[in-house]
Chains A and B, each alone.
Chain A
Amino acid sequence: MKRALFILLRNPLSVLGLTLVGLVVLAAVFADYVAPFPDHKGAVVDFLNFNKAPEWPYLFGTDLVGRDIFSRILFAYRISLTLGVVVLALAVPVGVTVGLIAGYIGGRTEFVLMRITDVFLSIPPLVLAMSMMGLLEPSLTNGMMAVTVMWWPWYARLVYNLTRSEREEGYVLAAEVIGASRLHVMFREILPNCVPSILTKMTIDFGFVILIASSLSFLGLGVQPPTPDLGSMVAEGAKYLPDSWWLTVFPGLAILVVVFGFNLIGDALREILGVDQ
């Protein structure tokens, strides 16, 4: 624990990552109290103050119907973080289970599971999510589903490769000779040895899940107005570039901050847990 803290605090980039993510999480959780205009998360109009460049009290300016962009970014973070948690909470267990089974059981099971995984991995992620959304009603829930469907194969492949190398370790043989069940060997013996790599990937992925989900809503396929979302805010403002630059630049920067922050933490975690890429 002490060593982890030392590694974390020694590297200024890790500290930066931790600060960025910490601020984002705090802002999202306490958005109701932190945001200068908490009611601007909804369908509010204030035409007296529409499309204003950043000036007090509108830190990041206002949008086309006069809502405070800073406030809306805080509420959008709340949605983005929820989405990240939900997507990873669904995708990781599925991917990990598939990878463990394919890597440990081997044979025909391995062939079938990994070819299915390959099919998913061979389709460009955004295209896959977009085609999913073409079939579904655009909404936050369906957006999360689409991202989940494209995300689990990465964990299947990661855990598959880890399992294949762990399977050769003596402790697996020992458990097998004792007579432990396959379930025990997979989930109690091999899985704990994959956890550091999985955790590291999850941290880095968190930012990318948010990025992909934002791309979806940028294309109008994700979160629907008036719910604030970083992607749709960028999309809306893009029509008014470069004059009303604050409409796009601040939500865009907001996306960058989360992705960057989680990436830095992921790198720190990799070092702490001794995961090699």
Chain B
Amino acid sequence: MKPLLQVIDVTKTFDAGGTSVRALDGVSFSVSAGECLAVVGESGSGKSTIANIVLGIYQPTSGALLFQDKELPDVRSLALKQAIQLVQQNPLSSLNPRRSVGASIRLALDVHAIGDRAGRKARVGELLEEVGLPADYADRSPAALSGGQRQRVAIARALACQSELLVLDEPTSALDVLVQARVLKLLADIRQARRLTYIFITHDLAVVRNIADRVAVFEKGRLVEIAPTADLFANPSHPYTRRLISAVPVTSRREAELRDRLQEPLDADL
């Protein structure tokens, strides 16, 4: 498969009060067109930093990013902004409380001049329906929606850009479990229907197993393991990955056995 995005030896250091913190350390990976790459790790592992670098919010200290074989510049053109979009973790804050849901979605259409002016209102309605909301929700304020509905609006806004790569920054972690499952299903359906590429940042391995094709495991700013999802769960090669997997709550005896088997070599190490 042709890589859509290549991250080549990216390092990011932050200067904080005289000391510099290395948030990313020589990270390289590539994302193929149409795949869903999960990026997992604990807080502080650098997974949000890589998301912000891909989005162009931060500049890498060293290293490069290639998007469709062209290097991503520090200042992104409108076309590149359109191509790479974001769904944030907290739908409560990601939608402007003082603007209608429709206005938030329409902004993307206006900025990128998608469709003619007259048709944009209808387009907003279509986007809302695509994420499973009634078109007339466009006039509502975010306060009138539930958490799951807000996240659907945020997804519709990202879709409005007609981007190729979506960075999903823990899009389900602020939602309760049932809603989480529905939003994940929606994201999977959309990816198939629109042939999108996802970088799915999460700390929830249950979510990873559900949606990801491949998994990149981050620890302390380093990419410690990257493998297809099934392989990673069946045979995690890095001890940190094993620890992460064994921290997942289990529901059946089979899962418990799997977890215990994964933990054995780890305990032997100690």
Contact = CB atoms under 8 A, between A and B. Distances in A.
Interface in A152-205: 169-171, 173-181, 184, 188-189, 192-193, 195
A192 B99 contact: yes
Given A169-B93, A170-B94, A171-B95, A178 B107 contact: yes
B118 interface: no
Interface string B90-104: 101111111100001
Contact of A174 (B78, B97, B112, B154): B154
- For B85, B104, B107, the residue with the greatest tally of chain A CB atoms inside 10 Å of its CB is B107
Find the residue from A176, A178, A179, A181 having the highest chain B CB count within 10 A. A178
A135 to B, nearest CB: 42
Contacts of B92: 170
B81 interface: yes
Interface residues of B, number: 26
Contacts of A180: 107, 111
B94 A174 contact: yes
B199 to A, nearest CB: 14
A246 B178 CA distance: 74
Contacts of B98: 192-193, 195
Given A179-B81, A179-B82, A173 B88 contact: yes
Contacts of B86: 173-174, 177
Residue among A174, A184, A193, A195 facing the most chain B CB atoms (10 A cut-off): A174
B99 A189 contact: yes
Given A192-B96, A192-B98, 6 more contacts: A169-B93, A170-B94, A170-B95, A173-B86, A175-B107, A184-B107
Contacts of B107: 175, 178, 180, 184
A170 B111 contact: no
A185 to B, nearest CB: 10
B81 A177 contact: yes
A169 B85 CA distance: 17
Contacts of A176: 57
A182 B75 CA distance: 14
Contacts of A173: 57, 86, 88, 94
B161 interface: yes
B157 interface: yes
Contacts of B82: 179
B70 to A, nearest CB: 18
A171 B104 contact: yes
B104 A177 contact: no
23 contacts: A169-B93, A170-B94, A170-B95, A171-B94, A173-B86, A174-B88, A174-B94, A174-B154, A176-B57, A177-B55, A177-B57, A177-B81, A177-B85, A177-B86, A178-B107, A178-B111, A178-B112, A179-B78, A179-B112, A180-B107, A189-B99, A193-B98, A195-B98
B96 A171 contact: yes
A193 B98 CA distance: 6
A178 B162 CA distance: 11
